[in-house]
Structures are given as C-alpha cells and as structure tokens.
Amino acid sequence: MKNDFILLEHLKVLQQKLSSTEVPNRPKYLNESSLQITDISGESKFKGKQFSPKYFLIHHTAGKGTPSQVVKILNCRHYKGSSKCTTLGIQWIIDRDGKLYQALPKGSKGAHVAHQKSGMGHINNSSAEGVEIIGLNDDDITIKQCKTALLLIKSLGYSLSNVFGHGEVSTNKQATEGKKCKTYATKYWDTPEDELPGGNDKEDEEDEDKKDNVTTTTTDTSKSSTNDDDKDDNDDDDGDKTTPEKNGFLDFFKNFGGILKKEEVSKIQEDVQRIKNLLK
C-alpha cells in the first residue's frame, strides 16, 4: 500500500513536468501573443455577474460600424417600437479587420441570447459567452474575422462540440448566423496557427476553391485506380500470373532463373535463411 502511494506521487510529479516542459517540434495551435485585445469594456452599461461559461456563441451584428458603435447600440435597444431602453452585453467583438475587442469585464456574464430552439434551452446567458462579428450577414463575414474567432475560442479553452452559431440556437435569428465561422473552426480546429487561412481574404477564397478542385480531382483519380485494381484482379483470376503470395517464397526464386538450385534442398534452406537474415 505504501509503495502504491509513493508510485502515485511520482506519477503526479511526472505529469506536472510533462505539462510544463516545452516539447521540441510540438505543433502550436495557438500563439496567444497574436491575440491583441483592445479593452472597451468600460463603454458598456451592462452590469453582469461573474460566471463560468460552458458554451460559446458566434453572432454577427447584421450591420456595419465600429466596435464602440456596437456597444453603444447594445447599451440601449428598443424593442417593438418601445421607448424603453433594454441594456444588452456581449463579451467580445471582432471588427472588419479581424481585430479583437473585449466588450465586458473579464469573466462577466452577458445578455446576448434568447428565444432558444427546442433542446437548446441549456445554452443561455448563464452558460454561454459570445462574440459579435461585425458584418451585414453570414456571407459578409470574412475569413480573417473567422480566424480571430477560432483563436479566441481556443484560447478560452472551449471544445469544438461546445461552440455554436447563434442561428443554431435561437428561433428569432437567421439560421445561417455564425455558420461561416463555425464551419471554419470545424475545418481548421487542429491546424497550427501559422498555417491558418486569414491573411488576404481574396487569396484565401481562391486557395479554398483550389483545394476543393484538388479534392475532386483526387477523388476521380481514386475511382480510376479502383477500376484498374478491379482489372488486375480479373487478370489474376486467369491463373497465368505467378506471385510470391500464391506460390510460396521458394517458388518465387525458382521462377527467376534458378537463383536457388532445385536439387540442393539444404542449400536452398541455407540461402533462404541468409536472405531472411539480411532482411531483418
């Protein structure tokens, strides 16, 4: 029992060392220094309690403007023509250039999701934080913005299964809201940061098209290869070809010029053993 306890303590120490040791050539999925955050949380009038969110929501603003203008609108929303101000809050904002802004104090609960679809009630303001990406609609969101969103999500420690587009959760939003960046995150979740698309959006879009074309070509080539393989199988069925798998290791050498002599069984065994030793 004492030995088991000592072994357990050694394992704990080893785990700590492994987690703190820099392993050479390990891919770095996130370079936190690239996430330059501008804090404009002081501009928000929303007062949220501290909380520990489990989910992350991707929104778009359905309009263009600056991050400060987004916060100003959230500070006073008028619903259904009412003169009453409803104050909302979002934790993060990404501008048109892909720059990241902190719009609420760190760890603060927001107000950015309601009208959940059936089965989505567990994703609410008490369990989810979110990002507003500035754009007219989902098609207007850029790859550069999606790259920033992905880096943010991973830096906060979320798993991909806990990331949702707003349109997936709420009934009063376009079904596609958040789809583009969610698709980007899914596709590039394990891609090292320095290999992520998101520099020049036109070039990135062209690269994506090229990749899709390459994939299609590869698929077609694969089909051709399958057909060729089928033909080879048919040829083998004729019984005219001799293969090592069908006729054995010794017969393979016999069919190629008598490298091994038929008469000298012992010599054959010695040569075979010698070849096996060389192949080890």
Lowest mean pLDDT among 87-101, 179-193, 199-213: 199-213
Would you state the pLDDT for residue 79? 84
Q: How far apart are CA 57 and CA 59, in angstroms?
A: 6
Looking at residue 50, what DSSP letter applies? B
Assigned token pair, 139:
């098609």
Element (H, E) at 163: strand 163-165
What is the rounded average pLDDT of the residues 185-201?
90
- Say whether pLDDT at 23 is over 90: no
Would you state the pLDDT for residue 269? 66
Would you state the pLDDT for residue 229? 32
Would you state the pLDDT for residue 271? 63
Would you state the pLDDT for residue 78? 87
What is the rounded average pLDDT of the residues 29-51?
84
What is the rounded average pLDDT of the residues 92-100?
98
Would you state the pLDDT for residue 267? 58
- Say whether pLDDT at 164 is over 90: yes
Looking at residue 58, what DSSP letter applies? E
- Say whether pLDDT at 32 is over 70: no
- Say whether pLDDT at 49 is over 50: yes
pLDDT digits (tens, 9 = 90+) for 238-255: 333 333 343 444 443 344
Assigned token pair, 84:
């009453």
Lowest mean pLDDT among 194-203, 232-241, 265-274: 232-241
What is the rounded average pLDDT of the residues 261-280?
58
pLDDT digits (tens, 9 = 90+) for 123-154: 999 999 999 999 999 999 999 999 999 999 99
- Say whether pLDDT at 221 is over 80: no
What is the rounded average pLDDT of the residues 54-58?
98
Distances (CA, A) of 201 to 61, 142, 178, 197, 265: 20, 7, 18, 8, 71
**pTM, full prediction:** 0.64
Q: How far apart are CA 35 and CA 123, in angstroms?
A: 26
pLDDT digits (tens, 9 = 90+) for 61-76: 999 999 999 999 999 9
- Say whether pLDDT at 216 is over 80: no
Sheet holding 92-94, edge to edge: 37-39, 100-102, 92-94, 128-133, 55-60, 163-165
Q: Residue 10 — very low, low, confident or very high, per pLDDT cuts 50/70/90?
A: low
Q: Find tokens 């990241």 and name the residue.
A: 100
Q: How far apart are CA 170 and CA 21, in angstroms?
A: 43
Cβ atoms of 93 and 67 within 8 Å: the answer is yes
β partners of residue 135: 63
DSSP string, 64-118: ---HHHHHHHHHSB--TT-SS-B--B-SEEE-TT--EEE-S-TTB--B---SBPT
> CA nearest 152: which of 272, 59, 268?
59
Comparison of pLDDT for 136 and 224, the residue scoring more: 136
When the pLDDT of each residue in the chain is averaged and rounded to a whole number, the result is 75
Q: What are phi and psi of 103, to 5 degrees?
A: -105, -5
Q: How far apart are CA 163 and CA 154, in angstroms?
A: 10
- Say whether pLDDT at 1 is over 70: no
Q: How far apart are CA 146 and CA 184, in angstroms?
A: 7
Q: Residue 6 — very low, low, confident or very high, per pLDDT cuts 50/70/90?
A: low
